[in-house]
Every structure is written in C-alpha cells, then in structure tokens.
C-alpha cells in the first residue's frame, strides 16, 4: 500500500460536490459504482470505510473511468488495510492514485438516531457495509464520517449539526439512496423523512401520575384491545373527534344506556393491564383522510414513531403528547399499559435493505416476506434501544412480542434483563408468542419456545401458553376439536396448564421437548388465555361448535361455555389474559383473521354489555375473586410444587387443592373444580366448606356452608374454601 498523509476530518461537515464521471468500485460498495467528487475537474475523490473484504479476498478497490470497466485503474486490485477509513483520489491527467488514511471522527455518540439539544443535534446511523453515508437536514446535505466504536455500538457514522433543529426534517443517504432513520422519533407520514424532536417539549404539563402498584407480576390481569375497536362505535359514548384515537381510549364518564363504557368499563371490570395492539407507525392505511381504512398494524414502518391515525392532531408534538396522555390517564385509573411490538419483521425489505441486508435473515421466519435477524449484535441492540426508548419516553409498563419465537431465547432474556436493570422498580411484563410464522428454522433449539423460556427466568420474560389454550378450547379456527370447555380434550394438558405449566422439576437447564406443556420455572412465565385478536373470537368458536352439533345459537348453554373457558383461566396459576370484549360475548361474524376487516366486524358494540349482562358480571366477579385471594397467584415454582395439588377424576373433572394460606390468603384452603360434561358428585375433604362460585352464576354459591359431599355442575367452575 502507498503511504500518504493523514487527514483529520473534523465534526463540522463538508457539503458534497457535484457528481463526476469517475467511479469508485470495491469491497465497501460490493463493487458497485460510487461517483467520485471533484472541485477542480482534475482530482476526483471518495471517502470509503474498508472492513474485512469479501469472499474473493481482502479489502481492495479499483477506479472505473466510465463505470463500464472499459478503462480502470490500477491494472490489478488495490489492496488496503481492513477496518480503516480512507480518502481515495485519482488524478484524471496522470491517472495517479493517492490513498490517505482518515482518523476516525471524535464525535461522541450516546445513542443512534437524532440526539437533540438546544445547541445542536448529533445524527448517527449504523452502516456496516459502506462508508458512503450522508445526511440531509432541512434540505442541506452533509457528509457523515465514521466514528470510533463506543457505548457498545460498532460501524457507526455520526455528525453533529449546530443550531436548534427541533422539527426540522432529515434523512440519511447510504450509497446515494435515501433511507429512513431506524431510530427516528417522528416521521413525515408516508415518506422516508424523519423529524428532529426535542421530546421534552412533549412532556405533560402536570408530569406523570403515580404508576399503579404491582407487587408481583402474577397479580396482573391483562386485557387486550385495539385503539380503534375500543371506541369507534357511537355506543362508546366517546366524543366523536376522539373515537378510535389515543384520547378516546381514556375519555372518562362515558355511558351507553346507563352502563359504563370505555375506560370506566375497564375500571369497573377490574383488570390491571391493558395490552394495546401496535400503535407505532405502520404502513397500512397511509391516507389519514381515509377514515374507514382499518388495520391491526402488524406491518411496521417506523419502530419508534407513534401512529398518526390514532392522534386527533397531526402536529408532531401533539401526536407524542396525546399518546403520553393516554398512558397517563390509564395510570390514573389504576391500569398499566403494555405495548404490542413487532420487531420480528418489517412492512417490506425497503425499511432497512438500503442500509444493510444484515438486518434480515436469509430465510423468512415470520411468514410475512421478511424477518429480522437479532443474531446480528447491532440489530439486537436496535431492538433493545427501541424498547428502552418506549419505556423511558412514554412511561410504558411492558411489551407483548409478536412472533418472539423467531428470536433466540438468549436475546429475549438479554432485552428483559436490560429493561429490568434500567427500570428496576417497574415490574415490567415482557412476554410473547413462542412460535414463528410456520417456518423451518435451523436454530430451533436456540429460539424462544416453551421448552427454552425457563432458561431466561432471571430476565422476567414469559410466553403465551398455547397448550393450555388448546386444552381448554381445542382448535382455534373451527368448531371441531372442542377441548375441555366443550366436554372434550386432554385433561392432563389442562392439569399442567392450571399449574402455570410448571416443570416436573425446578431445573431450567434440563432439556425438554420444545413444546412440553410443563415448561416454566416461575408462574409469571405462563400467559394463560383462550382467545386473542388472532383466530376466531371465543364466541365465534362457540357458535361454530353449536352449528356443527345442532345446537341453537340462542341456547343459553353457549354462554355457559364462554364463562367456563375464561373461568378456568381466571382461577389458574400464572397470569390471565382476556381478549377485549370476551366478557360481553364479543363476536366478529366468524372472521378468523380480521386484520383489515371493517369496523362492522372489529368494533366493540357496547350494547353487548346490556344484552349479556350476566356474562359480564361473571367475568367481573371472577376477576375480583382472583384479586382478593393470593391463593390463585402463587409466585414461585416451589410455592406451586409445595402448595398446589391436582387430582383427575376420569377425563372430565379436575380438582385443584390449594394451600392458600401459604401465600398470605385470608382463606386457609381453596378447592377449585373444573367439571366438563354432566354433574359430578364430589366427596369433600373433612370439615366445613363454603361455596364461593358454582353453577355458572354471578356470585354463585353465596358462601353457603357445605360438608360431606357436593353435586358439582358440569361445564362450570366451582370454588370452595375454608376460612
């Protein structure tokens, strides 16, 4: 290599020159063509960061006169040092090449993206494949040099632009192609343009309200809802301008024919957490003026930007402030907020591919056309930084991961450990779907699965329990395969699920089947549910079962099935999860995938609460029972192992005997009986017992005293106790 003088490239930036006909081609740009710039039409230059080369050899380049290889210099490839930044020039007259090493910029970088202060903004981006990085801010283009590795970041390019840039538009260019900022905090709708944000200007005037108390994660009761579904119908009682918006979610005092709706309904129901379907910036429904367009939002475009469709105001500051107001008002109401996040894929490759293909896996694991590769350290760091940003800036209380099964359990655990270390007093809930998009994965044993999640117990991360769900209701998308609630199913899987899927022994490192129904070493790792936004709603499942079995859709027995299914969830160990509206017999007209179906399919019709008042009351009573009695909420594997005993009677009755006093309950002992099928005569343990719940009736039992034996009704949850 030729020796040349070293050039110090300062943090103040240099505007790029006009394009030239000379082209740089080498390993930094995968032998593509990068125009070299000139100020005198004699010397043409390009700054390039060389990494380790390519499959054919080490870091090297040539200069192509016309971009077609008819005239190129030098005759043989020009080799340079790896992991070094150079300015490369050619003299057009004598064809002499000079290669000068450029010391790395000293620009300090705390985080990637646009880090604002009143005196200037530091812009930084990860660019592992090329050093041809520039930045356009408010119409002015600047070159962006590579900076030293710092704060765990590698291969980063950064520059500081002076002045107050709040609300200024910006974007990066990589190899001359416009790319959005993966860390952007705000974006111009439907454009690859981000907005510099001074987020302190979006702070709430009165500050954050106290966070609702959560002593143990097992104390949580999660309620899933979509921002639009919750209030879009006029029956919500929400002001028309706020319907289907962040602010509509938390408008108080709303009623329909005298019954509470919206936020007041959730307070009355007694849930502790609301899990909200994606509310970052998604690609579908791009026209905000198309008020009929609907989507769940599982097509991310900007991971850190609130979705504009859910904001009343289109002002950038207001959009962030409205979301903060929603979170704050939920907290005032005693309800924590969980964000549904979709880091497993993007709307399309275009989100990241022009920065680096390293963002994506070679095989589509998500079933959406692409999947994110968190085995790349800087990609895993991006996800971690995004989670931390949402937690810090928007005061969130947890995350539900869509298809977390495409990620390694070690990465999932690392994210959880980082968040819980950074926010030690939050008791965050972090959980996800332990499967991928039906893909074959060579890393299957390393991924998040039932059989691997226990290894991350220290991270306080968990998963949905599909084995328990299927034991209760059977098949997700038809009336077949009824499960225990339909007098079918495997009682042994119901048994294990009711114990929070506790492992046979408390050894997280013992290798088990990846789908073993006994998989947890802590009950907080099992999210128990019968239905969610995916697949048929529970009511639709029941209606299809009725059709197949010649049962009238108006038969009151169908309500009993609904209560029984969620009664099991609400009286089992682990963390219960309810699909929004299940307490009012919500249906979606048999649509098993309503991700872009109209409001007529997805909306909450608050008249259901009146029509199905008994079902609502049953769910409310079971929630209150669970909250009042920690015997249903054991906190460790040992507590369940030592204090929860299950007994199976044939295939249709499961009795759970709980030493409730061991977890500080005012009841000494609790019996929970799940009876599938006909009535069952149960011989009670000795002593007097009191009936808290029976016969599918709100406040069933009325705490009457019984002894000797009890006729337990089928398709019902029965709860007895000794004080």
Q: Residues 6 or more apart from 205 whose CB is under 8 A from it? A: none
The residue length of the chain stands at 723
Torsion of CA 561, 562, 567, 568, to 10 degrees: 70
Burial of 610 (0-12, 13-18, 19+ CB in 10 A): middle
Three state DSSP letters for 675-706: ECCCCEEEECCCCCEEEEECCCCCCCCCCEEE
Half-sphere exposure (CA, 13 Å, Cβ side) for 673?
28
Supply angle C-alpha 221, 569, 277, rounded to 5.
50
Burial of 474 (0-12, 13-18, 19+ CB in 10 A): buried
Nearest partner of 628 among 578, 693, 705, 577, judged by Cα? 693
**Are the C-beta atoms of 384 and 461 separated by less than 8 Å?**
no
Q: Residues 6 or more apart from 213 whose CB is under 8 A from it? A: none
Q: Residues 6 or more apart from 495 whose CB is under 8 A from it? A: 646, 648, 654
Q: What is the DSSP letter of 364?
A: -
Alpha-carbon distance 51 to 353, whole Å? 19
Alpha helices in 183-276 (DSSP H): 227-231, 246-249, 262-269
Angle between helix 538-548 and 557-570 (nearest 10): 140
Q: What is the DSSP letter of 486?
A: G
Alpha-carbon distance 531 to 158, whole Å? 46
Supply angle C-alpha 531, 532, 533, rounded to 5.
135
Alpha-carbon distance 40 to 615, whole Å? 81
Nearest partner of 336 among 415, 432, 282, 271, judged by Cα? 271
- Cα 693 to Cα 500, 564, 585: the distances in Å are 21, 12, 20
Q: Residues 6 or more apart from 327 whose CB is under 8 A from it? A: 337, 394, 395, 396
Question: Which active-site residues does the annotation give?
Answer: 402, 433
């Amino acid at each position: 290599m030729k020796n040349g003088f070293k050039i110090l490239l300062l943090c103040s930036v240099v505007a790029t020159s006009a394009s030239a006909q000379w082209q740089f081609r080498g390993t930094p740009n995968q032998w593509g063509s990068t125009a070299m710039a000139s100020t005198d039409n004699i010397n043409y230059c390009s700054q390039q960061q060389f990494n380790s080369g390519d499959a054919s050899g080490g870091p090297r380049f040539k200069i192509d006169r016309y971009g077609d290889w008819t005239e190129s210099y030098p005759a043989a490839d020009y080799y340079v040092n790896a992991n070094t930044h150079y300015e490369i020039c050619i003299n057009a007259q004598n064809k002499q090449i000079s290669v000068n090493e450029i010391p790395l910029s000293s620009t300090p970088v705390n985080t990637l993206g646009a880090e604002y202060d009143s005196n200037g903004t530091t812009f930084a981006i990860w660019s592992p494949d090329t050093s041809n990085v520039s930045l356009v801010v408010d119409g002015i283009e600047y070159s962006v040099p590579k900076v030293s590795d710092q704060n765990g970041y590698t291969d980063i390019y950064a520059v500081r632009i002076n002045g107050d840039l709040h609300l200024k538009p910006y974007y990066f260019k990589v190899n001359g192609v416009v790319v959005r900022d993966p860390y952007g905090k705000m974006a111009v709708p439907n454009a690859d343009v981000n907005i510099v944000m001074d987020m302190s200007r979006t702070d709430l005037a009165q500050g954050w309200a106290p966070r609702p108390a959560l002593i143990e994660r097992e104390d949580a009761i999660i309620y899933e809802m979509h921002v639009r579904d919750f209030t879009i119908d006029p029956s919500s009682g929400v002001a028309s301008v706020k319907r289907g918006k962040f602010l509509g979610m938390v408008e108080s005092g709303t009623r329909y024919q005298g019954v509470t709706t919206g936020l007041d309904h959730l307070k009355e129901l007694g849930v502790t957490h609301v899990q909200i379907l994606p509310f970052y910036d998604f690609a579908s429904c791009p026209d905000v003026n198309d008020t009929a367009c609907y989507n769940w939002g599982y097509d991310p475009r900007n991971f850190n930007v609130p979705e504009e469709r859910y904001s009343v105001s289109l002002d950038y500051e207001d959009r962030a402030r409205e979301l903060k107001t929603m979170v704050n008002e939920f907290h005032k109401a005693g309800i924590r907020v969980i964000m549904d996040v979709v880091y497993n894929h993007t709307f399309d490759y275009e989100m990241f591919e022009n920065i680096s293909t390293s963002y994506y896996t070679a095989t589509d694991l998500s079933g959406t056309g692409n999947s994110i590769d968190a085995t790349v350290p800087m990609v895993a760091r991006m996800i971690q930084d995004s989670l931390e940003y949402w937690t810090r800036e928007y005061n969130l209380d947890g995350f539900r991961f869509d298809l977390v099964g495409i990620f390694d359990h070690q990465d999932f655990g690392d994210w959880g450990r980082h968040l819980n270390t950074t926010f030690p007093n939050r008791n965050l809930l972090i959980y996800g779907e332990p499967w991928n998009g039906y893909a074959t994965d060579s890393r299957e044993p390393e991924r998040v699965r039932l059989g691997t999640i226990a290894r991350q117990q220290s991270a306080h991360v968990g998963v949905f329990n599909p084995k328990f769900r299927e034991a209760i209701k059977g098949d997700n998308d038809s009336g077949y395969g009824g499960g225990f609630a339909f007098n079918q199913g495997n009682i042994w899987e119901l048994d294990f699920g009711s114990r929070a899927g506790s492992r046979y022994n408390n050894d997280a490192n013992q290798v088990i089947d990846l789908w073993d129904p006994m998989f947890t070493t802590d009950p907080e790792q099992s999210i128990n549910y019968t239905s969610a936004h995916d697949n048929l709603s529970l009511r639709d499942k029941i209606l299809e079962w009725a059709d197949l079995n010649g049962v009238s859709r108006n038969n009151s027995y169908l309500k009993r099935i609904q209560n029984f299914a969620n009664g099991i969830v609400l009286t089992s160990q682990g963390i219960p999860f309810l699909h929004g509206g299940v307490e009012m017999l919500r249906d979606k007209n048999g649509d098993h995938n309503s991700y872009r179906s109209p409001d007529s399919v997805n909306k909450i019709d608050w008249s259901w609460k009146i029509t199905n008042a008994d079902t609502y009351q049953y769910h409310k009573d079971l929630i209150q029972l669970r909250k009042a009695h920690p015997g249903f909420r054991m906190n460790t594997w040992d507590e369940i192992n030592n204090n929860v005993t299950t007994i199976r009677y044939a295939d249709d009755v499961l009795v759970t005997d709980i030493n409730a006093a061991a977890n500080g309950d005012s009841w000494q002992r609790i019996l929970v009986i799940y009876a599938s099928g006909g009535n069952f005569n149960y011989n009670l343990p000795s002593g007097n017992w009191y009936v808290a719940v029976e016969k599918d009736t709100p406040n069933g039992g009325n705490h009457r005293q019984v002894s000797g034996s009890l006729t337990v009704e089928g398709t019902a949850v029965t709860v007895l106790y000794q004080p």
